[in-house]
């Protein structure tokens, strides 16, 4: 089968499942679930895969809401990624319902042709991208062993080759003081909230002296019970981001020093712990990206390199996968230019007509890219070489 015929067949397989794919997207959107709680989304996706006759491992690799479905008996092994967790309060404002349904569609289309084209495909359900690091656990537990390339699409407000995905570490910080009556005996108290506030102010000063491509942001999660009780404990969550893992380690030390200084000034104890797996920066594989961009044009989508005016800066556990296998994480447009991800407005567009079109186009583009990789093993060799050089 020629590449053109294979791609046309892939697109037809997606079209044949369009109604069900959009139903999946809408169901997940209407029932947002936070990280590691995506039981409904897990069951919806697994049921569709099983109905299609695929072998499905539910609750894969000791993660309740992860899954893997497989097709094909030999040849190059491509992983198509599904994400499906949501955000607190604003639901699918990151559009993971689109990611899940597009990955499902691409995987199902590829599965129908796997044996004919001599390839293997795994549809990998990865929970808890929004801070829980589901892919990190899957990677550690062998989910990507033997995989030649991995791919997903992420909704955005522009059509981009990549997300500017930088490394991130999440810190959970707890402060321990001594409670006392805030009016009758304040001198007997040690104010844990003061330690947290002083640390916050130190970090605010530090922000003036970090690199332009680094980010630090935090919130208080515990801040006392009543104003007339000196808070005996307080807590905060911080995200520390830097372009690479090495520079992240350096920035983390500076942030922790700021937080510890605040605790020392307030006379309270402090403990800083890594809250979840550290997310690596994303190594976007140009060989696979070029194939994706070429296939995107067949759906009428012109993918461009991110510019400073419209780059999407953030972090993803797909970065960890990209250090292990050649990977791509392109952004597919679902919202107007002025609507950023992680906003209530973006959640609306994730279930709009443009969101639905992104599901179908994203599924087709990825399925066609899988066909390219199956039919041109030399492309996979070049992709592997590129990854090896980028890690040096």
Domains in the chain, start-ordered, CATH in brackets? 3-165+281-390 (3.40.630.10), 167-274 (3.30.70.360)
| DSSP symbols for 95-153 | -HHHHHHHHHHHHHHHHHHHHHHT-EEEEEE---TTTT-HHHHHHHTTTTTT-SEEE--
pLDDT of residue 276: 85
Per-residue burial over 347-371, b if 16 or more Cβ lie within 10 Å, else e, is: bbbbbeebbbbbbbbbbbbbbbbbb
Pairing mode, if any, of strands 77-82 and 269-274? unpaired
pLDDT of residue 193: 98
Residue pair 117/73 in contact by the 8 Å Cβ criterion: no
Q: Mean pLDDT for each consecutive 10-residue tract of the chain (392 residues)?
A: 94 98 98 98 98 97 98 96 97 98 98 97 98 96 98 97 95 97 95 98 97 96 96 97 95 98 98 94 97 97 86 93 98 97 97 98 98 96 95 74
Give the 3-state secondary structure of residue 72: coil
Report CA torsion sign: 6, 7, 12, 15: positive
pLDDT of residue 312: 87
State the first-to-last Cα distance of the chain, in angstroms, to the nearest integer. 38
């Amino acid at each position: 089968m020629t590449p053109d015929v294979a791609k046309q067949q892939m697109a037809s397989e997606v079209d044949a499942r369009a109604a069900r794919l959009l139903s999946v997207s809408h169901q997940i959107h209407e029932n947002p679930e936070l990280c590691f709680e995506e039981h409904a989304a897990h069951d919806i996706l697994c049921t569709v895969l099983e109905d299609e006759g695929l072998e499905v491992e539910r609750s894969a690799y000791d993660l309740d809401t992860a899954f893997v479905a497989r097709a094909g008996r030999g040849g190059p092994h491509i992983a198509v990624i599904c994400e499906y967790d949501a955000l607190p309060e604003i639901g699918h404002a990151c559009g993971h319902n689109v990611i899940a349904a597009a990955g499902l569609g691409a995987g199902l289309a590829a599965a129908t042709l796997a044996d004919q084209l001599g390839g293997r495909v795994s549809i990998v359900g990865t929970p808890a991208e929004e801070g829980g690091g589901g892919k990190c656990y899957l990677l550690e537990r062998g989910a990507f062993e033997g995989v030649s390339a991995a791919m997903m699409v992420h909704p955005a407000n522009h059509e981009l080759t990549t997300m500017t995905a930088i490394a991130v570490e999440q810190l959970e910080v707890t402060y321990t003081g001594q409670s006392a009556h805030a009016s009758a005996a304040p001198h007997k108290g040690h104010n844990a909230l003061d330690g947290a506030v002083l640390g916050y102010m130190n970090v605010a000063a530090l922000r003036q002296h970090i690199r332009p491509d680094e980010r630090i942001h935090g919130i208080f999660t515990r801040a006392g019970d009543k104003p007339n009780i000196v808070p005996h404990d307080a807590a905060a969550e911080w995200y520390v981001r830097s372009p690479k893992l090495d520079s992240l380690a350096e920035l983390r030390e500076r942030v922790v020093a700021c937080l510890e200084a605040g605790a020392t000034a307030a006379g309270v104890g402090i403990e800083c712990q890594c809250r979840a797996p550290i997310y690596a920066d994303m190594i976007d594989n140009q060989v696979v990206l070029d194939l994706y961009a070429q296939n995107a044009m067949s759906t009428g989508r012109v993918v461009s390199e991110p510019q400073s005016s419209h780059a999407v800066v953030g972090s993803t556990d797909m970065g960890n996968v990209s250090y292990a296998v050649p990977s791509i994480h392109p952004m597919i447009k679902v919202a107007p230019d002025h609507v950023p991800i992680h906003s209530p407005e973006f959640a609306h567009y994730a279930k709009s007509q443009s969101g639905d079109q992104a599901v179908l186009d994203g599924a087709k583009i990825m399925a066609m890219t899988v066909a390219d990789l199956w039919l041109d093993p030399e492309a996979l060799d070049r992709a592997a070489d590129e990854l090896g050089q980028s890690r040096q």
